[in-house]
Chain A
């Protein structure tokens, strides 16, 4: 029962955080290189530019929700299981979302890496 509860928390966390990641990535691509903006106009300009981006705020909302799921999951399981398991499942889920929604070139190298991370997660659960 406890492990089911933990995995439901992890699954919710994974969905929320990969949706958030995809939204953030789309937002940052719209804004452009943050380093260049910081060098030209300073850190405050970067923060101002970022928080005015709607996609960013939406992505942030997803990530805040996933953060509360993470705190809950951490109180139920070991950090060396919860943190890697959730974050690497997020990696697979985000790779799929990035391919279909951001049209990123997820080549063989990146899929193999995704598979390696997936196997890594299976071992982490052992």
Chain B
């Protein structure tokens, strides 16, 4: 159970961060989108960076849905917040964007928030009681 939680949390964070950065890399080579020619946005789907980015976000989405199926939304969301740490590191070292000390401090605070929620209970008690006892036992064993 513990392992499953950590694994899902890490997949959500890494796929989310990597996906965003790959999208930004793709949009950099595509250029700015103007409202007057917004259909230009569809040409994004032919860009390899965007395609890999979307694949990463698809993995993120599957992990996210799985987590939502056995945990509260307010428990799972911080896992996506942990992706900022990944985003900040990749932005700095892969996209070579300037990440100021203030932004690093922001990343640190967000990480603290994530840590706080992750240590708490994953599901509202009332909902646990709603579940079938047998299914819950099986869930705890896994």
Contacts and interface: CB of A to CB of B under 8 A. Distances in A.
Given A33-B139, A94-B74, A80 B99 contact: yes
B102 interface: yes
A117 B81 contact: yes
B116 A107 contact: no
Contacts, number: 182
A80 B92 contact: yes
The interface residues of chain B, by DSSP majority, are classed as helix
Interface string A5-40: 000000000000000011011001101111110000
B74 A83 contact: no
A84 B74 CA distance: 17
A50 B62 CA distance: 11
B95 interface: yes
B65 A75 contact: no
Contacts of B41: 68, 71-72
Contacts of B88: 80, 84
Given A76-B32, A88-B110, A120-B107, A83 B116 contact: no
B124 A24 contact: no
Interface string B119-142: 110001111000000010011001
Interface residues of A, number: 56
A71 B23 contact: yes
B91 A78 contact: yes
B33 A113 contact: no
A83 B30 contact: no
A120 B113 contact: yes
B109 interface: yes
20 contacts: A32-B135, A33-B69, A35-B70, A71-B44, A72-B38, A75-B33, A76-B32, A80-B91, A80-B95, A80-B99, A88-B81, A104-B124, A109-B117, A115-B113, A117-B114, A120-B84, A120-B113, A123-B109, A124-B102, A126-B102
